[in-house]
Amino acid sequence: MMTKEQIADQFRQLQDKICIDLEAADGGGKFFEENWLRPEGGGGRSRVLEGKTIEKGGVMFSAVHGPLPEITAKAMNLSPTDFFATGVSIVLHPHSPMAPIIHMNVRYFETAGGDRWWFGGGIDLTPHYVVPEDAQFFHQQLRDTCERFSPTFYPDFKKQADDYFFLKHRQETRGIGGIFFDYLDAKTGFSKEDLFEFALAVGETFAPTYTELLDRAALKIFGESEKRWQMIRRGRYVEFNLVWDRGTKFGLETNGRTESILMSMPPTAQWAYNLQPELGSAEAQTLDWLKKGIEW
């Protein structure tokens, strides 16, 4: 039987592998590492990059434990218990507005003694400019990984991503979606080992997929106008994370580690009053793609 320590250990190795791949793709930047301890139990290893290609990125590993905060227990429909949670969480903001922002998370949670356990996570992509063939490539990578496990995973988890990464107050999706899943436990019909393998497979899909997208963007030229639009889209990213993202809200409201939670913030962002891109512009076309339910 797989132990929580083994899961945490493999997540930590996943963080290592991803950081190596990202440094290679960045072509100059080096991750800065910070280890931290959580007063109530456990801790984490934060890796932050200010690179040549990636303007600001974080690849965070944590494995924490202790009494489950009352408010969390309530939200999860659990009686008071101790918990253990481990995972890897990534957000990368590239310099170039022609390259997309990406987010990835895989995580495992269990209650005291492992009575209840589940996996969660996902990957989603937020291009400043939507490029349909890149969106197709991105979704195909996720579909391929999902289909190694179940034919229902990709359609189910793609829909969950569309629903989750949505700015209700703008009536627009954060980006072109991806996959999002939570509470994957034995009720899925899969063993803990199989579901862990799936979570790891999602984690391993991340680096080759994103580095391909960086390569595709690398030669695209851009100017002031594209940088300006990038800043506005980064503002939307901030809005999603601070207003709608459950993990962020929950962490900030329950005394989580602020700097780790807010590593997802872009390095810069801008807001303009009632900005409306010109009809037919690349920016207006991108807004047209920010809808739920598109089959890429």
Instruction: Find the part of the chain contacting a second copy (CB under 8 A) among 19-27, 120-128, 215-223, 245-253.
Output: 245-253
Region for 210 from its dihedrals, namely left if φ exceeds 0, alpha if ψ lies in -120 to 50, beta otherwise:
alpha
Among 73, 201, 269, 282, the residue binding a second copy under the rule CB under 8 A is: 269
Q: How far is the CB of 258 from a second copy (least distance, A)?
A: 5
How far is the CA of 145 from the CAs of 18, 51, 157, 256, in angstroms?
17, 29, 12, 32
Cross-strand bridge partners of residue 172? 167
Least Å distance, CB 255 to a second copy, is 8
16 binds a second copy (CB under 8 A): no
- Which of the following is catalytic: 95, 103, 128, 139? 103
Instruction: Examine residue 294 and tell whether it contacts a second copy (CB under 8 A).
Output: no
Cα gap 239→233, rounded to integer Å: 10
State which of positions 42-81 bind a second copy (CB under 8 A). 46, 48, 56, 58
Write the CA distances from 158 to 46, 106, 181, 295, integer angstroms: 28, 15, 9, 9
Q: How far apart are CA 128 and CA 213, in angstroms?
A: 13
C-alpha 144/C-alpha 188 separation (Å) is 19
How many residues touch a second copy under the rule CB under 8 A: the total is 35
Contact between 191 and a second copy (CB under 8 A)? Answer: no
Instruction: Examine residue 232 and tell whether it contacts a second copy (CB under 8 A).
Output: no
Q: Is 65 a catalytic residue?
A: no
Helices 192-218, 4-26: axis angle to 10 degrees equals 10
Stretch that binds a second copy, among 11-19, 102-110, 163-171, 280-288 (CB under 8 A): 163-171
Q: Does 263 bind a second copy (CB under 8 A)?
A: yes
CB of 242 to a second copy, least distance (A): 4
| By the rule CB under 8 A, 274 interacts with a second copy | yes
**Window contacting a second copy (CB under 8 A); options: 7-15, 16-24, 198-206, 271-279:** 271-279
Angle, helices 132-147 vs 153-164, to 10°: value is 130
Which residues, in sequence order, are CB contacts of 16 under 8 Å at separation 6+? none
Q: Which stretch binds a second copy (CB under 8 A): 208-216, 267-275, 278-286, 288-296?
A: 267-275
Nearest to 119 by CA among 171, 194, 58, 50: 194
Considering the rule CB under 8 A, would residue 258 count as an interface residue with a second copy? yes
Name the residues annotated as catalytic. 103
Q: Report the interface residues with a second copy, using CB under 8 A.
A: 34, 46, 48, 56, 58, 168-170, 231, 235, 238-239, 242-243, 249, 251-253, 255-256, 258-259, 261-263, 265-274
